[in-house]
Structure 1
Amino acid sequence: MLSPVVVGVDGSAESLAAVEWAAREAVRRDRPLRLVHARNWTGQAESETAHAAQRHRAQRTLRQAEEHLRGSVPDVELTDEQVDGPATAALLKATERAELLVVGSRGLSGFTGVLVGSVAQGVVATAPRPVVLVRAGEEAEDEHYPAGDGRPSTSTGFRDVVLGIDLADACDEVIEFAFEAARLRHARLRVVYAWQPPSAISLGPGDIGLINDPEQAEEWRGFLSAVLKAWREKYPNTEVLETVVEGRASTVLVRAASAASLLVVGRRLSGRPAVPRIGPVTHAAVHHVRCPLAVVPHE
């Protein structure tokens, strides 16, 4: 049985946008879609009557999401599930058997606009599978270039998939996810590496520092091309644009994602599960990138 695309559903505008994006992605990947609603996300029911009311509200929330999808993405193979919360733990459990997990990037915690400590932040920092965050208001047309008259369209080509890469820690899982996302969309893959020149303090006595910035950039371009060579051969029909930019990685990626259909970044799996971390670049992307954001865990 194919592992599903799993999406968290709570009835908020953010989760409905996530549901639609997840449905489109499930169709692209030829995977089933599973809607997951965590009952009692804020505490345990005090009585059977209250618990029954929660089940009813959960069922109504799932039905509304399903009815919404029947009109917008009718070809998706759809199932749903109610689970007992808390939400972060419930979604993490569902992710164990998922192709990927999709959540709304705001609204799941009940604190609109606050990501730190929210469900979205929790699953991004700890999920063993890729997690995609989707903002409220995300539409199918947003993934595509506008039509010739400037109007939004779903019949035009997809905008670039952008991969933020760390050449000091280039990981196959992250690169493969980005190439596959671009292939599924017949989109160009733009691979972005941001570098900063070493300071006099950071260079040791035995280090050789390139003085000329253009020379440093050229060195990084050569390194990036070498890292991507095997992936270009594996995905010969995917157009790849290699971009090397001097600057802070978080700033460069947020700017690059402004016209993207999807941004892909990596997250190193923590050896200390009790201390989940996402890193400064992923943290900046979670808070500032408007397009869907895929966070791919790796060793």
Structure 2
Amino acid sequence: MTGPPDVVVGYDGSDFSMQALEWAMDEAELRRLPLTVTHAWRWPYGEADEEVKSHLRKAAEHVLYHGVDCARSRSAITGAAGDLYEGAAAERLVELSARAELVVVGSRGMGALARTVVGSVAGYTAAHARCPVVVVRGPGPIPVPRHRGAVVLGVTDHTPDAAIGFAFGEAAVRGLELVAVRAGHVRTAAWGTAMPLVPDVEVAAQVAEEDLLQRLEPWQAGHPAVPVRARFVTAPPKDALLDLAGQASVVVVGGARGSGRLGSVTRTLLRHGTGPVAVVPVTEGAPRAESARPGEGWARA
């Protein structure tokens, strides 16, 4: 398929893919982009003639028609198209990501089955896509209450610039606050030879937060209307972001760095988070975000 960048959403007719479709419709409207609803199917029973397989294909066409019809009838999107694919859903989503602005996929939530689904579809897509991927997690059937919480950005020394830019853009189009979070330990300090090492938590947090705001200055200048707040949390990064995920509209993290393998924090959010997670890949040749300079020893994620 060719054409302008669009928002792509995987749809299979389930409640969870409906949640993803709702999110994708919002993104397409806010970004003023066309929407592509894709549905993948394949014959699972071995060899069969085309006439037999045609029944399954017709069922797949019906599922896709429903998704596209919902997008056209329940949104102001100027262009909503369907994409029917015979093959693996994750592979098709990755293929479409090469020219998409954003890919959206649903996830069932926590539990062993959810981890299998995340590993086979959402996780694979997030690890291999060429554009940002939003994994919309839901606790159960729709409707799901719409969150108006902040856009939360998880920041480490290796967070790609693309993730920071995506978080600012998402906060801007949705009119939300951006909360940049850095998590880690506090370096201890010795105040005298006869005194034990004592962590000055307040000083550590202030230094880390000031440094984080300084790092975000170029993006803040480009989005002056976005309220920005920096937070330093004395906890493991995965615990800090999981704690914030339930109140956030979306949590934004960096994706795989060319290996097709997501980091432990991102994998934990996809498996156990309670809200949407945006995974932003490191594009080939993109410069790495600068490491923290002032106070970098105070907080390491």
TM-score exceeds 0.5? yes
- Structure 1 residue 14: Cα displacement: 1.1
Match of 1:19 in 2: 21
Q: How far apart are the structure 2 equivalents of 1:282 and 1:164?
A: 10
Q: How far apart are the structure 1 equivalents of 2:166 and 2:43?
A: 31
- Structure 1 residue 192: Cα displacement: 0.9
Residue 142 of structure 1 pairs with residue 132 of structure 2: no
Match of 2:282 in 1: 298
Match of 1:175 in 2: 164
Quick check: 2:128–2:256 contact (8 Å CA) kept in 1? no
Counterpart of 1:64 (choices 44, 47, 66) is 66
* Amino acid paired to 1:256: L
- Structure 1 residue 20: Cα displacement: 1.4
Q: How far apart are the structure 2 equivalents of 1:27 and 1:260?
A: 21
Residue 265 of structure 1 pairs with residue 253 of structure 2: yes
- When residues 223 and 33 of structure 1 are mapped into structure 2, their CA distance, relative to the original with a 3 A threshold, is same
Quick check: 1:6–1:34 contact (8 Å CA) kept in 2? yes
Q: TM-score, normalised by structure 1?
A: 0.82
Q: How far apart are the structure 2 equivalents of 1:129 and 1:284?
A: 20
- When residues 140 and 89 of structure 1 are mapped into structure 2, their CA distance, relative to the original with a 3 A threshold, is same
Counterpart of 2:89 (choices 59, 83, 87) is 87
- When residues 199 and 138 of structure 1 are mapped into structure 2, their CA distance, relative to the original with a 3 A threshold, is farther
Which consecutive residues of structure 2, in runs of 5 or more, have no partner in the other structure? 190-196, 284-301
Instruction: Note the 1:178-189 alignment, pairs <5 A.
Output: 178-189=167-178
Residue 229 of structure 1 pairs with residue 217 of structure 2: yes
Quick check: 2:184–2:233 contact (8 Å CA) kept in 1? yes
Q: How far apart are the structure 1 equivalents of 2:278 and 2:165?
A: 12
Q: How far apart are the structure 2 equivalents of 1:26 and 1:116?
A: 24
Quick check: 2:188–2:200 contact (8 Å CA) kept in 1? no
* Amino acid paired to 1:249: P
Match of 2:102 in 1: 100
Instruction: Note the 1:156-235 alignment, pairs <5 A.
Output: 159-166=149-156, 168-198=157-187, 211-235=199-223
Which deviates more from structure 2 when the two are superposed, residues 60-69 or residues 17-26?
60-69
Which deviates more from structure 2 when the two are superposed, residues 186-195 or residues 174-183?
186-195
Match of 1:128 in 2: 130
- Structure 1 residue 219: Cα displacement: 2.4
- When residues 140 and 112 of structure 1 are mapped into structure 2, their CA distance, relative to the original with a 3 A threshold, is closer
- When residues 173 and 111 of structure 1 are mapped into structure 2, their CA distance, relative to the original with a 3 A threshold, is same
- Structure 1 residue 54: Cα displacement: 2.5
- Structure 1 residue 234: Cα displacement: 1.2
- Structure 1 residue 42: Cα displacement: 4.6
Which consecutive residues of structure 1, in runs of 5 or more, have no partner in the other structure? 145-158, 201-208
* Amino acid paired to 1:79: A
- When residues 174 and 194 of structure 1 are mapped into structure 2, their CA distance, relative to the original with a 3 A threshold, is same
- When residues 161 and 73 of structure 1 are mapped into structure 2, their CA distance, relative to the original with a 3 A threshold, is same
- Structure 1 residue 101: Cα displacement: 0.7
Kindly provide the CA deviation profile for residues 131-152 of structure 1, in whole angstroms up to 9, marking residues without a partner as x.
Answer: 11112446574133xxxxxxxx
Quick check: 2:118–2:271 contact (8 Å CA) kept in 1? no
